[in-house]
Amino acid sequence: MALQVGIVGLPNVGKSTLFNAVSNSAKAQASNYRFCTIEPNVGQVDVPDERLAKLAELVQPQRIVPTTIEFVDIAGLVKGASKGEGLGNKFLANIREVDAIVHVIRCFEDENILREEGAINPVSDKEIIDTELQLKDLDSVEKKMARVEKMAKNDPKAKRHLEVLQRCQAHLGEGKNIRGLQLEGEDLEAIADIFLLTQKPVLYVANVDESAIHTGNKYSEALVKAGEEEGAKVIVMNNSIEAQISEMESEEDKALFLGEYNLEEPGLNRLIRAAYQLLNLITYFTAGVQEVRAWTIHRGWKAPQAASVIHTDFEKGFIKAETIGYNDYVQYGSEAAARENGKLRIEGKEYIVADGDVLHFRFNV
């Protein structure tokens, strides 16, 4: 599944530094001037999962393949982007293409790093981007309303869509994001073709200085409060420290470095896991002597859908899924032992895959 999370924020808040840290496959230029990032950089990121390592320890495969998410470093936004200011049109188009948003916000003081928005104010910074996305969405909603209004006179479905669009228009007009409406089912059909920016799930990163990585500061606290009001999570971290950790090749060096800052793990691990959860994703595993592998699926998927991420033929010719829960697999130490103890289940087409399931699909095409 090629799922993408876009890293966004005002210029010079630490977006590209975070991207450099979070990505193992691409490096973004991080410089102290506006629009350093013009074309979006894309990096594929391993999702940290201790369960994969444990299964590999038991199976001793030839290779281990983690599941991944793609992070996209998008050009910094400025006020007026919804009207094309700066790189506004390109920025907004790039956001439209991602599945979720990680919004990096500056929560530190440093007179050596340029800032055109005045005093440090994370809530105000958040609102600048929110406003630009809302204005762009309002434009999209009103353009569709103009198209639907004529049809709504004689078409009940179009009338229903118009009512949903009117709700969206009023919501955006109040300075609120579409995700707050929590639209479901048929209501989502009304806006499915206009790909609203503020409908996307969001995660905030409070980029703090070194002294605040454990306790946060007044800036990150204000951002956490603002995030709680809209039901969004805030990850507090120092992007520069994370970039340094990511450049270390030795796990021993990383452990020593983390120890110096009294950190149990990189903040990036928390960010990646939070982004994974933000997209409502879960992981299942396949385990054999050739490879132990993690696979990404959406929560609630049935077994044939889950099989399709390995190969579409697995879904087309699905027969059954041999299933062992992760805890059972670890408890008994192998597939054979789990089978002998009655922990291997045969599941059919209606089975909803659980997070951590170890699966083997039977199919015929």
Task: Reduce the DSSP state of residue 133 to 3 states and report it.
Answer: helix
Full-model pTM: 0.83
- Give the domain-ending residue among 242, 277, 312: 277
Residue 286 placed within a domain? no
Structure tokens at 75: 């050009």
Q: For position 268, which CATH number holds?
A: 3.40.50.300
In terms of C-beta distances under 8 Å and separation of at least 24 residues, what long-range contacts does 298-304 make, across chains too? Answer: 299/355, 300/352, 301/352, 301/353, 302/349, 302/350, 302/351, 302/352, 302/353, 303/347, 303/348, 303/349, 303/350, 303/351, 303/352, 303/353, 303/359, 303/361, 304/349
Evaluate whether residue 153 is within a structural domain: yes
In-domain check, residue 295: no
Same domain, 194 and 205: no
Q: Which residues fall within 8 angstroms of residue 258, CB to CB, at 6 or more apart?
A: 245, 264, 265, 266
Asked whether residue 157 is assigned to any structural domain, the reply reads: yes
Do 92 and 206 lie in one domain? The reply is yes
Residue numbers of the domain that contains 319: 300-363
The predicted pLDDT at position 329 comes to 98
* 157: CATH: 1.10.150.300
Q: Which residues belong to the annotated binding site for ATP?
A: 12-17
In a domain, 124, yes or no: no
Q: Write the pLDDT tens digit of every residue in 195-241.
A: 999 999 999 999 999 999 999 999 999 999 999 998 899 999 999 99
pLDDT for position 75: 64
The answer to whether residue 152 sits within a structural domain is yes
- The region that residue 218 occupies, defined by phi over 0 for left and psi between -120 and 50 for alpha, beta otherwise, is alpha
pLDDT of res. 247: 86
Does 345 share its domain with 327?
A: yes
Annotate 205-221 with DSSP letters as a single string: EEE--GGGTTT--HHHH
Question: Domain check: are 94 and 239 in the same one?
Answer: yes
Same domain, yes or no: 101 and 217: yes
**Under 8 Å between Cβ of 190 and 160:** yes
**Does 39 reside within a domain?**
yes
Q: Residue 189 and residue 157: Cα distance in Å, rounded?
A: 10
Residue at a domain's end among 277, 311, 341: 277
Binding-site sequence positions: 12-17
* 221 shares a domain with 87: yes
CATH code for the domain in which residue 357 is found: 3.10.20.30
Q: How far is CA 130 from the centre of its chain?
A: 18
In a domain, 291, yes or no: no
- Residues 136, 272, single domain; the answer is no
Q: Are residues 210 and 193 in the same domain?
A: no
Query: Could you say which of 146, 163, 198 is where a domain stops?
Result: 198
* 146 shares its domain with 227: no
Q: Are residues 171 and 209 in the same domain?
A: no
Instruction: Identify whether residues 97 and 28 lie together within a single domain.
Output: yes
Number of folded domains that form the chain: 3
Q: What is the pLDDT along the chain (365 residues), one digit of tens a residue?
A: 668 898 888 888 888 888 888 774 444 333 333 333 334 578 788 888 999 999 999 999 999 999 988 888 876 555 554 465 444 455 677 788 889 999 999 999 888 777 777 789 999 999 998 998 899 899 999 999 999 998 998 899 999 999 999 999 999 999 999 999 989 988 999 999 999 999 999 999 999 999 999 999 999 999 999 999 988 999 999 999 998 998 888 889 999 999 999 999 999 889 988 988 888 999 999 999 999 999 999 999 999 999 999 999 999 999 999 999 999 999 999 999 999 999 999 999 999 999 999 999 999 87
Tens of pLDDT, residue by residue over 291-347, are 999 999 999 999 999 999 999 999 999 999 999 999 999 999 999 999 999 999 999
Domain identity same for 137 and 242: no
